[in-house]
Structure 1
């Protein structure tokens, strides 16, 4: 019985000693490139480091007082090919079905590309891309300058 008490007492004191050994200061060493990356992401509104109040309500903009500005954002490509007539047809068809979404035709040699939408977040563009996958083939999200209201 005395032997069990002695062993339990030793284990108890040993555990107290180990807990005290974990006291101390923690020093965080941060690479200088992390600060540059955070500033870059904040500038282009990619997971900004500054805290913002986020509202789940839809944002309403008084367009008579607002101005359109270009910001870094995302578009969904719905067509890429060398035939200009086919690209124009895809663009016009999309505009007829979605008059409230912008459709843009670009030419980067040797292909014409039709990209749609002006999204400020990748998640919005990805959600829209998933909606379009059943209608268009080779649908991708691209980072580029987009129009938004401010």
Structure 2
């Protein structure tokens, strides 16, 4: 009886593993999107974020302290001297931290540190997720 059940099960398993044919029907634009995504990933992009794409990079932390007012003053100093560089304030009890930049390379962050050296004596380069610039998606393809 046990032998009959095993033979029956084995026969069904071998029939279930027959080869078949799968046909994928998709919109041709899917291939275009996959190619664009691949290009973005090769350029250093990652997951799509609020500002375009995000990836790991570098920021310069130039302030850390318990005073909210001092954190905003430090942020204003950097924004006045470098209006094209984004600054970020974070609060983790009990300290505020102020960082600047969305740098893909450490050398870019070092350059900003050199420029800020006279204003802020203690700075660090932080590796974290950064916001990359938005890509121009208004190009037309033919």
Place the TM-score, normalised by the shorter chain, in its bin.
Answer: 0.5 to 0.7
2:115 to 128, 131, 150: 131
Q: Distance in 2 between matches of 1:139 and 1:73?
A: 16
Could you state the TM-score of these two structures normalised by the residue count of structure 2?
0.55
Residue deviations 1:68-94 (CA, integer Å, cap 9, x gap): 211101000111000001101111222
SS in structure 2 of the partner of residue 137 of structure 1: coil
Stretches of structure 1 lacking an aligned partner (at least 5 in a row):
1-49, 53-66
The residue aligned with 2:126 is 142
SS in structure 2 of the partner of residue 125 of structure 1: helix
The residue aligned with 2:26 is none
The residue aligned with 2:72 is 88
SS in structure 1 of the partner of residue 80 of structure 2: helix
Could you state the TM-score of these two structures normalised by the residue count of structure 1?
0.53
Residue deviations 1:8-36 (CA, integer Å, cap 9, x gap): xxxxxxxxxxxxxxxxxxxxxxxxxxxxx
- Post-superposition shift, 1:132? 1.2
Stretches of structure 2 lacking an aligned partner (at least 5 in a row):
1-41, 44-50, 136-142
* Deviation >6 Å, runs of 4+: none
2:100 to 112, 116, 124: 116
The residue aligned with 2:17 is none
